[in-house]
Amino acid sequence: MEYDVIIIGAGITGSSIARQLCRYQLRVALLEKEADVSFGVSKSNSGIVHAGFHEKPGSLKGKLCARGNLLYEQYSQELNFPFRRSGILMVAMNDEQVQQIEAFYFQGVKNHVPYLQLISGERALEMEPNLTPDIREAIYAPTGGIVEPYEMIFAIVENAQKNGLELFTNTPVEAIEPVGGGLRVLSGSKEFTARFVVNAAGLYADMISQLAGAEEFTITPRKGEELLLDKRVGSIVKSVIFPVPTKTSKGILVIPTVEGTLMIGPTAVEIDDKEDRATTTAGMEQILEQVRQMVAGIQLKDIITQFVGLRPTIKGDDFYIARSQKVPTLIQVAGIQSPGLTAAPAIAEMVKDLLLKAGVQLVEDPDYDPYRPRKKKIRQLDLTELDALIEENPAYGSVVCRCEKVSEAEIVHAIRQGHTTIDAIKFATRTGMGRCQGGFCTYRVMEILRRETGMAFEQITKRGGQSYLVQGALSANIQEE
């Protein structure tokens, strides 16, 4: 299979690059080793659209964060994914931290962060009454925001496919070799060739670079545990609450979500294993202890679930985005940790410019359509709208997930778009994301999957690979029912 550009990695960065390139008359392929898009680094992202005051002036992170932030309105309006400018507060609780946040404020001014304010602790408490009274001073950045990263990625890829993108999931790259002025990419029995390859492989970008014979660098996973809290406390804050950052991370945060839940975390521990997603009691206790210093009212009973994300860190304090000097047909996009989600739309523009400079002809496609229709979600409809929708399709009246109010029709739509694992359906529809964490609806989702795809129960996985949900006698008993 021959392409103009192959992108390796279907997280927020690779997906955004793919959509950007689909504006032009190019053959573009997106390769992902997991069972679905967003299943790597991006699925556990905190979903924060950063304002830009954390980043050093003059850095790639600073430049691309600022530009990416500005592009979010356009992206969300074109692609119809939820995005809200919730604002960001960085709070100081002692004299030393007051000095530190004042330095971050002036850094934000240098980065031209709009509407940035340095406010008193009293003003911060007026804005967020559930902050603890220890708050002395704060930075307020109203341009900060929140998104659901997986929903955003699904929207980006769906639109890119509409505009000609060819997506290959379950396609781990095993070899890369030069061929005829381009590169050949091998994955099992699949063979792809392209004039240019973009390495957006997240935690495995170092391995992809090595396979291509390009620059040597090391991606070190930085493990972050997070806690998801019940909607009962979802409105305890309106803004994202940051502490003063540490040398290794932006700290443990309090994060409202666009769907009304609350996240707290993440921790930051450098590890060796790129597949270590084990949660720990120590991580949970650390998160609770630190967020309670900033926000009152968060209790152990409010926790719905705990999960882990791995950031792909690289030596130095900046993104690595460049045309390879050793393999000129390879574009390196590595070390994309925070603020990578914010920067992704701007990274896509930068990669497009690198390809143009490398000689790729970018002829605009007259048929390019940047828009994705709004999804029908019964939890967002009033009774009149819901009655009309059920009249049109009775499956909208069958509620599968009671916690999140997700209908059978929404699940069927996700499956027919190619999302055929339990996690993919969860990310596409929010089925199983509520208080019971799928305790009541998982079996019903499996029934719908079996009906729609013909898969047997024992073939259904949580997230692809060997993550089967049932086997043996249990499976046989279910089949008999």
State the catalytic residues. Answer: 50
Q: Sign (positive/negative) of CA torsion 129, 131, 132, 136?
A: negative
Q: How far apart are CA 227 and CA 351, in angstroms?
A: 34
Token pair belonging to 373: 């229709």
Which residues lie below 8 Å from residue 231, measured CB to CB, with a gap of 6+? Answer: 260, 261, 434, 435
Q: Is 265 exposed, middle or buried (0-12, 13-18, 19+ CB in 10 A)?
A: buried
Residue of 465, 34, 89 whose CA lies nearest to 11: 34
Which run of H or E residues covers position 48? strand 48-49
Token pair belonging to 233: 């406390």
CA atoms within 13 A on the CB side of 220: 12
Could you give the 3-state DSSP secondary structure of residue 392? Answer: helix
What is the greatest pairwise CA distance in the chain?
A: 68
Residue of 148, 147, 168 whose CA lies nearest to 157: 168
- For 230, other C-beta atoms within 10 Å of its C-beta total 17
CB 121 within 8 A of CB 132: no
Residue of 144, 166, 357 whose CA lies nearest to 242: 144
Q: Please provide the DSSP assignment of 242-307 as one string.
A: E----SSSS--EEEE-TTS-EEEE---EE-S-TT-----HHHHHHHHHHHTTTBS---GGGEEEEE
DSSP letter (8 states) at residue 375: P
CB 124 within 8 A of CB 89: yes
Tokens 């927020």: give the residue.
12
